[in-house]
Structure 1
């Protein structure tokens, strides 16, 4: 897209780095402007690597006509974030590093990018049978609330909960990365575009018409290979 009344994002990112982090050893520009998905409200996601920092931090600024989110790390702190993102199956920083355009590199970025790419390619850890059982119960509980509710305001938020729980279940039981907000849809499409479209259509039908049937069918189809809904006999913390 054209950036009306704004500097080119790469030019703006270079100016920002030169002014605020002139002594860093590495820097990347990531996010929607790199993926070609920028909108009028997109910001610049900039990742900094500076060996002189004591700890990592994140900061939001407006510079050179752009909203800028800067993620600042030393040469080891990013590893903790990689590990944390891996554990929660939401690889925010590894994805930024993997897709990012290198703006500055003092012979460190190849190794850091390789770490990110290896993590992304390996995928998140497989869910245990106990975790799958727990998630089936939570989905069943939300689905029962959804089916039984007749209060529109409550239905809307139960549907939101179902969408998050079910999308997580589908992706994690197939050892795929998950996301939040817009990244739920992106993660589903990356996994299976046809399924993602069916998922979106089922929830869109409910939100626009109040028809719950497609969501109910979708959830039951997803749970069926894992034993279906789970309520009877479920326990948690019982000695």
Structure 2
């Protein structure tokens, strides 16, 4: 019966913990339901801290009327994910833990939340000049392909690549976290609401009408403070 009735998010999460992890030392409910952004297709993201597990794992389940993603850690394994997320500039685990609603705590959650919040507030590592130039080069190449292409099907996928490269470039050169899928736009909005609006508008116009001008201008404006497009003289791996 419990699998057929969709309980409230908090009640479902609490029952899930009692059923599957009754001896855990801590548990958090995270994700869109905690941020007040849940949709009809949202799942429950639950982070478990259990000293009895030997290594971290992730599992997807259906229970109590919900799709549930559970992220299970012992009391140290989460640190590897913190480090990995910091290095890739996508703070998935620190964000879940810093935002997460405490469901169970045997006195361990405060310190872990503090670690997560410190990572979020610190921001990602600063890009080197070499990295910035490499990114400029690849953006420049994609822009030239975009300008030169007269094939609508190819245009669409070049634009997709440009959007991904550009969002990363803007955010990383400003020491901001990046994201994937829906977190691309969310990360841009967290950086600058007005810029995010201009960014989305430029690509939206292209996808709707085929007009490339705003995307081209956007790319040029973003690259200009760093020296503009880059081709001549760029090398990678030369000794």
What is the deviation of 1:6? 2.0
Residue 191 of structure 1: aligned partner = 191
Which 4+ stretches in 1 moved above 2 angstroms? none
1:58 is the counterpart of 2:45: no
Give the distance between the partners of 1:112 and 1:153, measured in 2 at CA. Answer: 47
1:149 is the counterpart of 2:152: no
Residue 167 of structure 2: aligned partner = 167
Residue 178 of structure 2: aligned partner = 178
1:71 match: secondary structure:
strand
Residue 71 of structure 1: aligned partner = 71
Give the distance between the partners of 1:13 and 1:153, measured in 2 at CA. Answer: 44
2:86 match: secondary structure:
helix
Any idea what the Cα deviations from partners look like across 1:156-206, whole Å, max 9, x if unmatched?
011000000000000000000000000000000000000000000000000
Residue 15 of structure 1: aligned partner = 15
Give the distance between the partners of 2:208 and 2:107, measured in 1 at CA. Answer: 53
> Which blocks of at least 5 consecutive residues in structure 2 are unaligned?
none
Alignment of 1:1-239 (within 5 A): 6-239=6-239
Give the distance between the partners of 2:236 and 2:123, measured in 1 at CA. Answer: 28
RMSD over equivalenced CA pairs, Å: 0.6
- Per the normalisation by structure 2, the TM-score is 0.98
Give the distance between the partners of 1:192 and 1:16, measured in 2 at CA. Answer: 38
1:17 match: secondary structure:
helix
Give the distance between the partners of 1:16 and 1:144, measured in 2 at CA. Answer: 52
Any idea what the Cα deviations from partners look like across 1:92-147, whole Å, max 9, x if unmatched?
00000000000000000000000000000000000000000000001001101111
2:33 match: secondary structure:
helix
Aligned residues: 235
Give the distance between the partners of 2:137 and 2:6, measured in 1 at CA. Answer: 50
1:107 match: secondary structure:
coil
2:51 match: secondary structure:
coil
Any idea what the Cα deviations from partners look like across 1:196-227, whole Å, max 9, x if unmatched?
00000000000000000000000000000000
> Which blocks of at least 5 consecutive residues in structure 1 are unaligned?
none
What is the deviation of 1:237? 1.4
What is the deviation of 1:238? 1.7
- Per the normalisation by structure 1, the TM-score is 0.98
